[in-house]
Amino acid sequence: MECFANGDADKYFKYAGAIFAKDINTNGSPTTIFEVNKELGGNDGAFKKCIESGKYTQRVADQLAE
């Protein structure tokens, strides 16, 4: 979600809603996150690069810890 939204709260919640609407049981499977990115008009290359870079790994871990 962080890589799709890139700091935009509206995009974050739009992406989150689409993930849960698609299949709440996917637990963020790679297939689903890339499908939703594409469906919402995200840039596939930039999205993949962001995920592979681990740019938001610590931020997500911190959020989960809260």
pLDDT tens digits, 18-47: 988 877 665 667 788 899 999 999 999 999
Residue 55 · residue 1 · CB < 8 Å = no
pLDDT for res 36: 92
| Residue 26 in tokens | 């996917």
Position with higher pLDDT, 26 vs 14: 14
Total number of domains in the chain: 1
| Residue 1 in tokens | 């979600």
Supply the mean pLDDT for the chain. Answer: 86
pLDDT for res 38: 94
CA dihedral 20, 26, 31, 36 (to 10 degrees): 0
Work out the percent of the chain whose per-residue pLDDT is above 90.
36
Q: Domain limits at 14?
A: 2-65
Cα end-to-end distance, the chain, whole Å: 17
